[in-house]
Amino acid sequence: MKDEINMIGLQMLRLCRSVLLERKLKPDYVDRIDTDKLFQLCEYHCLTALVCTALEYNGITPDKKWADAKAKAIRKNMLLDAERAQITGFLEKNHIWYMPLKGSVLKDYYPNVGMRQMSDNDILFDETKRDSVSALMKERGYYLKSGKNDHCDEWVKEPVYNFEMHLNLFTPRQDETGYFTDVKDRLVRVSPDRCEYRFTDEDFYIYMTAHAYKHYHGAGSGLRTLIDYYVFLDKKEASMNWKYISEEISKLELSEFEQQIRTTAFSFFTQKSELTAEGKKMIQFMINSGTYGSLDNWIDAQAECLKANNRMQYLFRRLFPTMDWWHQYHPETEKSPVLIVPLFFYRIGRMVFIGRKRTIKEINVILHRKKKIYGKE
């Protein structure tokens, strides 16, 4: 089963390469593609619209489910664009600085509208104006999906609207170096009469890498991340200051990861060099991770953080984490250990009442998985 998924994943990636580089695949290769199985994996990776376009480019007329999925992706992108314009219009009118993030920027580097499917829109804004922005979102019919936190508010509205309004780029746990703490100092104002800011290309790439690393080494990230790297670098690599990028990436201790994902993206898409063993392993990991990662990958990351060497120790540590875990996930406990008591009961409450289905699924994965916990046992 895993070998079949890897094979279909490579077909998916080769189709993406074909349409992005405008190089048609050999007819006998295209004829061997099972579009039904391919569709399932494309949905898992949020690549249905791009692959549908690639199939059409290679002479295949996809069936209705493909056409519907592509139309839906294009419609969603257009709706999100229109809604984002309304939200940023409010921010401009009220003199609130802001910066669109991630996919809402990257999508414009793809050849056609809708090719880069959007799950949500992320916007960084002046955290001192949180109440004003919250009032706007409620007025526009959104409800707050995320709990109250110090990172971002996730606002959702039917049928497809999802906006993550960021107070910062990373939580303190995710940004242990503090590199992104005063990020506004490095932003560039789009124009003197606008409140919109942006990264320089170099700083966007650094943030993009830090964000990709967070997901890749958490629950995992899918092939869309690799495609984003190629699409962005294809447009920007030649004009960027790589000495600056290298120095800054080094401060974040991400040099090895950045080099690996950039090399893998270029090796696969340009085919000017052979994929390394590490590159093949990275692609395989991404194929099996999907857009939002997998519970299996997340368990591995948690096991490492919890220093759990076997199943029973993992389950025990999920209930009673180490002090290192508390300090990492709740930095406030380092100065005030007494906070661990209410946070402990809050965690248990969330596991039992709010995240009950996920908790049950996690326990089932742990008890029935074949591979070892944290590479041991």
Q: Indicate whether 208 belongs to any domain.
A: no
Residue span of the structural domain in which 55 resides: 2-62
End position of a domain, from candidates 293, 313, 346: 293
Chain centroid to Cα 198, Å, comes to 19
Q: Are residues 99 and 161 in the same domain?
A: yes
Same domain, 368 and 305: yes
Domain assignment present for residue 240? The answer is yes
Strand partners, 157: 161
Q: What is the pLDDT along the chain (377 residues), one digit of tens a residue?
A: 678 889 999 999 999 999 999 999 999 999 999 999 999 999 999 999 999 999 999 999 989 999 999 999 999 999 999 999 999 999 999 999 999 999 999 999 999 888 999 888 999 999 999 999 999 999 999 999 887 778 999 999 999 999 999 999 998 878 888 999 989 999 999 999 999 999 999 999 999 999 999 999 988 999 999 999 999 999 999 999 999 999 999 999 999 999 999 999 999 999 999 999 999 999 999 999 988 888 888 888 888 888 888 888 888 988 899 888 888 778 788 889 999 999 999 888 888 887 888 888 888 888 887 666 554 44
Q: Does 104 lie in the same domain as 54? A: no
Answer yes or no: are the C-beta atoms of 75 and 92 closer than 8 Å. no
Query: What pLDDT score does 373 carry?
Result: 59
* Whether residue 50 sits in one domain with residue 87: no
Residues 283 and 302 in one domain: no
Specify the long-range contacts of residues 56-63, CB closer than 8 Å, at least 24 apart.
Answer: 57/18, 57/19, 57/22, 57/24, 58/15, 58/18, 58/19, 58/24, 58/25, 58/30, 59/24, 59/27, 59/30, 60/30, 60/33, 60/35, 62/35, 63/35
pLDDT at res. 376: 42
* Cα separation, 67 vs 56, whole angstroms: 10
User: Which of 242, 275, 293 is the last residue in one of the domains?
Assistant: 293
What is the number of structural domains in the chain? 4
Q: Is the domain of 96 the same as that of 190?
A: yes
- Judge if 101 and 180 occupy the same domain: yes
pLDDT at position 358 is: 86
Does one domain contain both 90 and 193?
yes
Give yes or no for a contact between 76 and 47, defined as CB atoms under 8 angstroms apart.
Answer: no
Domain boundary among 235, 262, 293: 293
Q: Is 362 exposed, middle or buried (0-12, 13-18, 19+ CB in 10 A)?
A: buried
Residue 69 lies in a domain: no
**What does the pLDDT read at residue 377?**
41
Q: What is the CATH number of the domain that holds 99?
A: 3.30.460.40
Domain-embedded: residue 185: yes
Q: What was the pLDDT predicted at 205?
A: 98
Contact present, 84 and 123 (Cβ < 8 Å): yes
* Same domain membership, residue 180 and residue 117: yes
Q: Please indicate, yes or no, whether residues 226 and 188 belong to a single structural domain of this protein.
A: no
Q: Evaluate whether residue 204 is within a structural domain.
A: no
The verdict on 176 and 228 lying in the same domain is no
| Residue 207 belongs to a domain | no
> Is residue 90 in a domain?
yes
Same domain, 182 and 91: yes
Which residue do the tokens 């742990």 mark?
366
* Residue 110 maps to a domain: yes
Please name which of 257, 262, 252 lies closest in space to residue 229, comparing C-alpha atoms. 262
327: exposed, middle or buried (Cβ count in 10 Å: 0-12, 13-18, 19+): middle
